[in-house]
């Protein structure tokens, strides 16, 4: 079972989103930002590995839940180089679309302005730091073991489509669970265990529109559709989602809030529970930036609070996450 997509921010998410909407600079050279901070999160989930995996390794029964909470350091970098004459920009860093899904995928790519018709982009997406997943999420009465979850693929985008406020992204990637053993601890036939295989390919498309308001405010609705073609039919799913972002940028401070709601439906009956899994998901986060910190113009303080919830028709897959973070961000 894949991680459920929950809109939990990482503290720097809103600034990364605003960077994506920005035009290519008029001067050649480096730009971007670096962030250093800390966060505390609480995860109640049988399928998502929490911040302290040791406290959620043991699952007493398939009707029980595990939880984990703890803090960690946050270090992030968004690096860009602009060729002003050709209106071309190279970029390397985290993907905002993946970060809100607790997927720490990196991107390396190029953006190209095409006159007044917008900015097109292409990028290689990859797991700079592999995420973690349980080898067998269904193992009961024993210490569950973690394994690496990697993803690699391609993303294509078009910001300001044909001079409008519309933007679109299409992503295709390969998902690899290093030691995929879902259901190995249970009395399942080989065919039933194969239904739980989480390896496979994922495609997603996002369409957003920026409503520019007065006094530095922007309202951005976004709709998205994802298709996960996993090797196991019980791990394959369709997801539809809606996200609404409100951003207010002032000289001294910026505020960005996000609300996310979605539905996911899997393709086949999960052999462990005898039901096809469905879930309603939602999340909310708020990010506050205080600029010109200590009279240093590029330096900002960053504060963030987030909450996400997934309510499934099988209690085993219910997930709840909350997170608070603070840090310092330097723009260059």
State the DSSP string of 127-192.
Answer: -SS-EEEES-TT--SSB--EEEEEEEEEEEEEESGGGSSEEEEEEEEEEEETT--TTTTSS--HHH
Tell me what pLDDT residue 23 has.
82
| Residue 68 in domain | yes
Q: Please report, for the domain that includes residue 138, its CATH number.
A: 2.40.160
| Residue 6 in domain | no
DSSP character for 1? Answer: -
| Residue 321 in domain | yes
* CA angle, 136 then 284 then 261, to 5°: 70
How far apart, in whole angstroms, are the C-alpha atoms of residue 23 and residue 148?
36
Residues 6+ apart with CB under 8 A from 158: 118, 119, 120, 121, 167, 168
Tell me what pLDDT residue 8 has.
36
Tell me what pLDDT residue 54 has.
83
How far apart, in whole angstroms, are the C-alpha atoms of residue 19 and residue 298?
14
How far apart, in whole angstroms, are the C-alpha atoms of residue 87 and residue 98?
26
Q: The whole model's pTM is what?
A: 0.88
How far apart, in whole angstroms, are the C-alpha atoms of residue 320 and residue 41?
11
* DSSP-derived 3-state class of residue 271: coil
Q: Is 313 exposed, middle or buried (0-12, 13-18, 19+ CB in 10 A)?
A: middle
| Residue 162 in domain | yes
Tell me what pLDDT residue 237 has.
97
Sign of CA dihedral 277, 230, 135, 38: negative
Tell me what pLDDT residue 216 has.
85
Tell me what pLDDT residue 113 has.
96
Tell me what pLDDT residue 76 has.
80
Q: 119 near 158, Cβ under 8 Å?
A: yes
| Residue 8 in domain | no
Strands 211-212 and 237-249: unpaired
Place of tokens 């298709």: 227
* Domain containing residue 224: 13-331
How far apart, in whole angstroms, are the C-alpha atoms of residue 70 and residue 63?
24
In the beta sheet, which residues pair with residue 321?
43, 308
| Residue 2 in domain | no
Separation in Å, CA 258 to CA 234, 244, 286, 323: 31, 6, 7, 14
pLDDT of the chain along its 332 residues, tens only?
444 434 333 333 444 444 445 689 999 999 988 889 999 999 999 998 888 888 889 999 999 989 899 998 988 888 999 999 999 999 998 654 444 444 556 889 999 999 999 999 999 998 877 788 999 999 999 999 999 999 999 999 999 999 999 999 999 999 999 999 999 999 999 999 999 999 999 999 999 999 988 888 999 999 999 999 999 999 999 999 998 989 898 999 999 888 989 999 999 999 999 999 999 999 988 889 999 999 999 999 999 998 999 999 999 999 999 999 999 999 98
Tell me what pLDDT residue 21 has.
55
Residues 6+ apart with CB under 8 A from 332: 30, 31, 32, 33, 34, 298
Tell me what pLDDT residue 53 has.
82
Q: How many residues does the chain have?
A: 332
Tell me what pLDDT residue 12 has.
36
Tell me what pLDDT residue 104 has.
59
In the beta sheet, which residues pair with residue 253?
290
| Residue 200 in domain | yes
| Residue 1 in domain | no
Total domain count, the chain = 1
């Amino acid at each position: 079972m894949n991680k459920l997509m929950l809109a939990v921010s990482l503290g720097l998410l809103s600034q990364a989103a605003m960077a994506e909407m920005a035009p290519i600079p008029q001067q050649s050279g480096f730009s971007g930002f670096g962030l250093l901070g800390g966060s505390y999160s609480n995860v109640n989930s049988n399928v998502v590995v929490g911040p302290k995996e040791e406290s959620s390794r043991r699952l007493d029964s398939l009707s029980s839940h595990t939880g984990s909470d703890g803090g960690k350091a946050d270090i992030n970098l968004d690096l860009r180089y602009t060729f002003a004459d050709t209106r071309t920009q190279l970029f390397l860093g985290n993907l905002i679309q993946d970060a809100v899904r607790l997927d720490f995928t990196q991107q390396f790519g190029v953006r190209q302005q095409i006159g007044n018709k917008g900015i097109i982009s292409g990028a290689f997406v990859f797991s700079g730091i592999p995420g973690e997943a349980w080898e067998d999420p269904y193992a009961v009465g024993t210490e569950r073991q973690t394994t690496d979850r990697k993803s690699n693929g391609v993303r294509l985008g078009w910001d300001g489509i044909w001079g409008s406020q519309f933007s679109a992204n299409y992503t295709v990637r390969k998902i690899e669970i290093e030691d995929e053993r879902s259901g190995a601890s249970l009395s399942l036939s080989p065919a039933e265990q194969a239904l739980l295989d989480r390896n496979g390919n994922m495609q997603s498309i996002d369409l957003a529109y920026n409503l520019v308001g007065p006094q530095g405010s922007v309202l951005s609705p976004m709709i998205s559709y994802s298709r996960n073609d996993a090797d196991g039919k019980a791990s394959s799913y369709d997801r539809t989602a809606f996200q609404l972002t409100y951003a207010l940028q002032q000289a001294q401070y910026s505020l960005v809030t996000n609300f996310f709601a979605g539905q996911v439906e899997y393709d086949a009956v999960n052999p462990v529970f005898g039901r096809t899994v469905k879930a309603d998901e939602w999340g909310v986060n708020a990010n506050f930036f205080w600029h010109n910190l200590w009279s240093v113009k590029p330096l900002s303080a960053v504060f963030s609070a987030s909450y996400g919830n997934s309510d499934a028709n099988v209690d085993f897959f219910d997930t709840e996450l909350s997170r608070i973070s603070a840090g310092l961000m330097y723009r260059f």
